[in-house]
Structure 1
Amino acid sequence: MRYLLIFWAGPLALFWGWYFLSLNDISFGTTFFSREMNDLVFEVYGNVLGIDPQAIPPLAARACVIDSLILFAIIAFRRRRDILARFQAWRERYS
């Protein structure tokens, strides 16, 4: 579970943290978090991909959601016996 937090939640938190700080121009005196950097980064990505730069953040959000659902489905499949045992214990306790 520790590796899940490091390799999945860490990069997502870094990216979305940067995105929302730079989108709102909360730069803390650095260029990295400025709105100009946000616009430049998405303009470069838009030119590379050949799409409108304003379309990239919703596409990234949708990709993060779908990837997260796939990841949690794999984890749930690997731990299905534990999940089923907890569900049965919960059902016996409350029924």
Structure 2
Amino acid sequence: MSNIFLSGQLVCSDQNQAAIVARFLPLHVELTRAEQGCLSFEVKVTENPLVWQVDEQFQDAASFRLHQQRVSGSAWGRATADIARRYEVEGI
């Protein structure tokens, strides 16, 4: 079993997208941290208010994939679908 790490940025194109992130992020973080296999999950705004740093760690590929599936159908996933993501995933 190998840990999976995701690190990168969520990049908003304007203040409207940043407001969407701020609105939906608290529940997204709460639900993700409660997922089986989530070892750590942090999303924090950077010095640029349109850019959010994302760092995730899951215990294995299966838990990471389940997270990705849950997110794609969630309120967060739908609300932020048009926001650019620049992520790198290690361990898969």
Normalised to the residue count of structure 1, the TM-score between the two structures is 0.26
Relative contact order, higher structure (CA 8 A, sep 6+)? 2
Structure with bigger helix share is: 1
Bigger Rg over Cα: 1
Structure with bigger strand share is: 2
